[in-house]
Structure 1
Amino acid sequence: MNNHEIDYKLYGDDMQFVEVELDPQETVIAEAGSLMMMDDAIRMETIFGDGAESSGGLMGKLLGAGKRVLTGESMFMTAFTNEGTGKKHVSFASPYPGKIIPLDLSTIDGKLICQKDAFLAAAKGVSIGIEFQRKVGTGFFGGEGFIMQKLEGDGMAFVHAGGTIHKKELAAGEVLRLDTGCLVAMTGGIDYNIEMVGGIKTAMFGGEGLFLATLRGPGTVWVQSLPFSRLASRVFSAMPRNGGSKGEGSAASGLFDILGGDRR
């Protein structure tokens, strides 16, 4: 094992947090701002780069930090080390309603590809890098762009996603089509591509967008029922306009919305 071996426990249902149990001198790394609580014997330290054990000196750390910037994350991560004499605990919370997915990377060939903001925490030694989409169409229209997160190692990692999470095993050659924003993570053997929705009428008026993600096995895929982008767009559309208030359950409110009326 190159990674620290950590134990954990999940709490909650739709607003989950994960409690990580650390033996003396064990370390867990996490995204900045994800800490919920920790015992007093745990030392918190900001680290530069992706948190891997073998960083390759200053240049390796710079490359690791650069990879994180490309995925839209901070150059820094936070390491939590148990400096006490017994077992200690540190907890991390997901940033929006959904589920936390615990993954033992040693059981999936040491590699996981996930959406850019999915990573929450991992055992010290797990490398958080980037995965370039080599296909131009996938990069432009795949929802996640050319760059996704790549987790590598043989330890525990925790990713989070919105709504309910569905894990699906794909056999060799089996194809799964899904909304581009609903993809959470996939194992390294999955072939990821995008395709246009069939038919002009369906594409223009179907409300599902112009493209679908196409995943071809063999491998494992994790799918989320409520992408954060979809949740954010619904919240934004429900916000009051021009300083007014948007009533709920009112036929008159709906009529004014349709006609663009001013209820002041």
Structure 2
Amino acid sequence: MNNHEIDYKLLGDDMQFVEVELDPEETVIAEAGSLMMMNDNIRMETIFGDGSNESSVSGIMGKLIGAGKRVITGESLFMTAFTNEGTEKSHVSFASPYPGKIVPVDLSEVGGKIICQKDAFLAAAKGVSVGVEFQKKLGTGFFGGEGFIMQKLEGDGMAFVHAGGTIHEKKLEAGEVLKVDTGCLAAMTGDVDYNIEFVGGIKTALFGGEGIFFATLRGPGTVWVQSLPFSRLASRVFAAMPQEGGSKGEGSIARGLYDIFGGDRR
């Protein structure tokens, strides 16, 4: 194995967190801001990139190129590495950023690569490469919900991906096609053929309420579908927020906070 071998435990239901067990000198990497708690003998270090291929010149150049791609996606240039410097097993936990599920993926069992939403990565064993995947098809790039760029995780270790709501894992046979709302596609293995199609029919497109395009996924491969994309959650929250000049009789928490912090102070 090129990656560190880590054990883990998923805890919680709708707001899950993953507890990673590290042997002495084992390391797990995570996106900044995902830490929930850790034991005292775990050292936290900010690293450039994902910590893979640190020694070779080509590895350094690869990290610089990868960093440039991450800047394009709006991601940070840096990640955080958590290393057990003690003599016994220790634990570090990472929390979900919003209601949903954490999907553990053993990359060695899915061909060494998965492609996911650019904000889906939570944590992984050190050695897993975290990069970006440029969609080669213009239609996919312009209308795929995630634009030209998605996130890719490569290696042979454990990786943890977060998605909203309930997660459904669907295994596609060779030639089997699954049509998914573009926002509900959480992740897929690298062998899945991904494209974007027009829903068909002007009336359906304009008034159907399901968007103008959907993702067409063709097997073989594995697809993870989320029931609550963050964009859908955010749009519902925004729609429920009070608007300027709106009614002030709504008995909601948002209404109360608005009155306290930003409402009419007369």
Give RMSD over aligned pairs.
1.4
Gap change, CA 1:243 and 1:189, over 3 Å in 2:
same
For the 8 Å contact 2:3–2:126, the answer to whether it is kept is: yes
Give the match for residue 153 of structure 1.
Answer: 155
For the 8 Å contact 2:29–2:50, the answer to whether it is kept is: no
- Taking the aligned partners of 2:201 and 2:5, their CA distance within structure 1 comes to 51
For the 8 Å contact 1:126–1:154, the answer to whether it is kept is: yes
Counterpart among 178, 181, 193 of residue 180 in structure 2: 178
Give the match for residue 250 of structure 2.
Answer: 247
Give the match for residue 60 of structure 1.
Answer: 62
For the 8 Å contact 1:115–1:144, the answer to whether it is kept is: yes
- Alignment deviations for residues 88-110 of structure 1 (CA, whole Å, 9 cap, x no partner): 00000010000000000000010
Give the match for residue 74 of structure 1.
Answer: 76
For the 8 Å contact 1:99–1:160, the answer to whether it is kept is: yes
* Structure 2 residue runs without a partner (length 5+): 253-266
Identity of aligned residues (%): 82
Q: C-alpha displacement at 1:246, in angstroms?
A: 6.0
SS of 1:66 mapped into structure 2: helix
- Taking the aligned partners of 1:188 and 1:64, their CA distance within structure 2 comes to 18
Q: Which amino acid in 2 is paired with 1:34?
A: S
Counterpart among 120, 128, 131 of residue 133 in structure 2: 131
- Taking the aligned partners of 1:246 and 1:136, their CA distance within structure 2 comes to 48
TM-score by length of 1: 0.91
Q: C-alpha displacement at 1:59, in angstroms?
A: 2.5
Gap change, CA 1:154 and 1:90, over 3 Å in 2:
same
Q: C-alpha displacement at 1:69, in angstroms?
A: 1.8
Q: Map residues 69-148 of structure 1 onto 2, 5 A cutoff.
A: 69-148=71-150
SS of 1:207 mapped into structure 2: coil
SS of 2:13 mapped into structure 1: coil
Q: Does 1:20 align with 2:20?
A: yes
- Taking the aligned partners of 2:72 and 2:157, their CA distance within structure 1 comes to 24
Give the match for residue 212 of structure 2.
Answer: 210
- Alignment deviations for residues 26-76 of structure 1 (CA, whole Å, 9 cap, x no partner): 000000000000000000000001221446444333223223222321000
Q: Which amino acid in 2 is paired with 1:61?
A: K
Aligned residues: 249
Gap change, CA 1:90 and 1:233, over 3 Å in 2:
same
* Structure 1 residue runs without a partner (length 5+): 250-264
Give the match for residue 7 of structure 1.
Answer: 7
- Taking the aligned partners of 2:167 and 2:178, their CA distance within structure 1 comes to 15
Q: C-alpha displacement at 1:243, in angstroms?
A: 6.0
Gap change, CA 1:73 and 1:11, over 3 Å in 2:
same
Q: Which amino acid in 2 is paired with 1:19?
A: E
Runs of 4+ aligned residues of structure 1 deviating over 6 Å after TM superposition are: none
